[in-house]
Amino acid sequence: MFAWRPRPVEITEKLNDTSFEPAHAAYYDGKSGDWLRLLLQARVDFLSIWRPADFTERVTATRVLGRQIVLVNAPDLIRQVVVKRHENYERKSPQMRRALEYLLGDGLFISDGETWKQRRALVNDIVHTNRVPSFGPVMEKTAGELVERWNSMPDGASVNVLHEMAGLTAEIISRSVFGNNLGKESADAVTDAFTSYQSLIDSINLGYFIGFDEGLPVLRTPSLRRSVKRIHRIIDKVVEDHLAGRGDHNSMVELLIRRQERSPELKLDLVALRNEAATIFMAGHETTAATLTWAWYLLSRAGWAEQAVHEEIARVCGDRTPTIDDVPKLDYCRAVIEETLRLYPPVPILARQTKQADTIGDLPVEPASLVLIVPWLLHRTPSLFEDPHLFRPERFLGDRRPVPYSYIPFASGPRVCPGMNFGLTEAILCLAVLAQRFRVRVDADHKVEPLCRLTLRPKGGLPVTLHRR
C-alpha cells in the first residue's frame, strides 16, 4: 500500500568557486513502465518525473490509462507543432483550461478558435513592442518606490523576495494595464490569492486520463472560491471604474474599451473585459515576478555573476538610477535574465491537445492526444546547451544565440506570449534598479526547491536578507 506513495523529490545543487549548478530535481529512476506511479509522482511535482533519456532531441509516445501522450523535445519538430501545423495544436490541454477557466474565463491564455483569433489581435496591439517604451516611467517609478521601502528597513532585513517581486510587478502591471495605482494592500491581496489558488489546483486532471476528452471541472471548494473572489473583486472594480469614465485614458484597459465601442462584434462585455484584464494582469505580473525571484537566487549563489552585474550598471549608469533608455546597453543584465529564463522558465510545460490525427516526425499522433513541449527539458538538453544544468549568462552575450526553437521561455509561433518584450524589459530594468542599491542574499543553508504548479516558483517562496551596497 505504502509503495504507491509518491517519493520525496530529491534536489540537486552544486556550487564551487567558478561554477554553479542551481537547484533542480534529480533524474527519475523509478521502474520503467509503471505509469500509475509516475502519474502519482507528477501530481506532487511535474519536474521530478524525467529520466536522462528525456533530455535528448527526440519525439516519443506512451499511454497512460488509454490516453496517448506525446513528448516533443527536438527543435525542428517543435517548429512543426507550434508553427507549421499550429492550428491542429492550438488548443490548450484540458488540464490547463480546467485549471484556469474559473479564474480567467475565456481569456486569451486558454481560449482557442475564433475567440482566440479576435482577442489575440486585440491584445497584440495593446502590448505591442512599440508601446513598451511608453511604460518606462511607470517601471522606473515603481521600482524606485521599492528601493525607498527597502531603504527604510534595517540593513540585513529579512523578506520573502518572491512576495516582494510579485508586489512590484503587480503594481507595474496595474499602473500600465489599468492606469491607476493598485496600492500595496490590493497588490498583496492578489499575490496571496494567486499563491493560494495555485496550491489548491491539482497538477493532473485525472478525468482526462480515464476517458473524458475535456477533462473534469475543478472542484470549487470554499477555499478556491475565496481566492478567486479576492482577485475578481479587485479587477472588477478597476474595469467598472473605467466603464464609468474614471480610468486613465492611456491605459491598456481603456484601449480595450475604446476598441469594443468601435467593434461591437468583439462582444467585450464586462465579463469579457474582466477575463482579458485578469489574463493580462495575472500572466503579466506572475511570470516576471518568478523570473526576478530566480535571478536573485542565482546571483546570490554565483558571486562572480553578481559582480559582473554591478560592474556593468556602474559602467552604463554611474551613480544615477537606471532608466528604460539604459536597457539596450545592459547586455550582461539581459544575459542574466535570459539565462534565468532558460533554467527556470515561468511556464515549464506547454501542453496541447490534438484536434485531428497527425504525424510528428515519424510518430503517428491520435486525435485528442496530449502533446507536451517541456521547456524544462528542452532548455536542459546537452546537445543544445553545453553543461545545461550550469548557470552561465555568457551563453547569451554577443552574437551567441540558441538554435531556433530550442529556447522558448515565452512559447513560440502564433501563441508566443504577446507580452514577451514588456516582460523582458521590465525584468532587466527592475534587476538593474534594485541590484544597483542592494545585495540580495539567500541563506547558504536554505534548501531551494523548484515547484511546478501553474507556474514555476521556489517552494514556499524565497526568504532572503537585504544588504545595502
pLDDT tens track for 231-242: 888 877 777 776
Give yes or no for residue 258 having a pLDDT over 80. no
Q: Does any domain span residue 192?
A: yes
Q: Which residue would you say has higher pLDDT here, 105 or 349?
A: 349
Q: Does any domain span residue 3?
A: no
Separation of alpha carbons 110 and 101, rounded Å = 8
Contacts of 145 (CB under 8 A, 6+ apart): 171
Whether residue 367 contacts residue 88, with contact meaning beta carbons closer than 8 Å, is answered with no
Instruction: Determine the average pLDDT of the residues in 344-366.
Output: 94
Q: Does any domain span residue 142?
A: yes
pLDDT category at 2 given cuts 50, 70, 90 is very low
Separation of alpha carbons 404 and 351, rounded Å = 20
Q: Which residue would you say has higher pLDDT here, 170 or 292?
A: 292
Q: What is the pLDDT, as a whole number, of residue 119?
A: 67
Q: Which residue would you say has higher pLDDT here, 99 or 250?
A: 99
Strand partners, 14: 21
Give yes or no for residue 219 having a pLDDT over 90. no
pLDDT category at 345 given cuts 50, 70, 90 is very high
pLDDT tens track for 24-55: 999 988 777 777 777 778 877 888 899 999 99
Q: What is the pLDDT, as a whole number, of residue 356?
A: 95
Q: What is the pLDDT, as a whole number, of residue 6?
A: 63
Q: Does any domain span residue 241?
A: yes
Instruction: Determine the average pLDDT of the residues in 363-384.
Output: 96
Range in 109-113, 249-253, 316-320, 377-381 with the lowest mean pLDDT? 249-253
Q: Which residue has the cell 488548443?
A: 91
Give yes or no for residue 1 having a pLDDT over 60. no
The CATH number of the domain where 287 resides is what? 1.10.630.10
Q: What is the pLDDT, as a whole number, of residue 103?
A: 84
Beta strand pairing status for 67-72 and 370-373?
parallel
Q: Does any domain span residue 4?
A: no
SS (HEC) of 375-404:
HHHHCCCCCCCCCCCCCCHHHHCCCCCCCC
Q: What is the pLDDT, as a whole number, of residue 5?
A: 62
Q: What is the pLDDT, as a whole number, of residue 129?
A: 64
pLDDT category at 215 given cuts 50, 70, 90 is confident
Give yes or no for residue 320 having a pLDDT over 50. yes
Q: Does any domain span residue 1?
A: no
Q: All 3 cell numbers of residue 195? A: 499563491
What percentage of the chain has pLDDT greater than the value 70?
90
Contacts of 309 (CB under 8 A, 6+ apart): 299, 332, 333, 336, 431, 432, 435
Q: What is the pLDDT, as a whole number, of residue 324?
A: 96
Q: Does any domain span residue 169?
A: yes
Q: Which residue has the cell 531603504?
A: 151
pLDDT tens track for 104-152: 877 666 777 777 776 666 666 666 667 788 889 999 999 999 999 999 9
Give me the domain span that covers residue 159: 11-468
Q: What is the pLDDT, as a whole number, of residue 327?
A: 97
Report whether 417 belongs to an annotated binding site.
yes
Q: What is the pLDDT, as a whole number, of residue 134?
A: 81
Separation of alpha carbons 441 and 423, rounded Å = 24
Instruction: Determine the average pLDDT of the residues in 67-90.
Output: 94
- Tell me how far CA of residue 302 lies from CA of 104, 163, 291, in angstroms: 38, 22, 16
Give the count of domains, the chain.
1
Q: Taking all residues of the chain, what is their mean pLDDT, rounded to a whole number?
A: 87
pLDDT tens track for 329-339: 999 999 999 99
Q: Does any domain span residue 347?
A: yes
Q: Which of 2-6, 166-170, 209-213, 247-251 has the highest mean pLDDT?
A: 166-170
Q: Which residue has the cell 525584468?
A: 427
pLDDT tens track for 422-454: 999 999 999 999 999 999 999 988 999 999 888
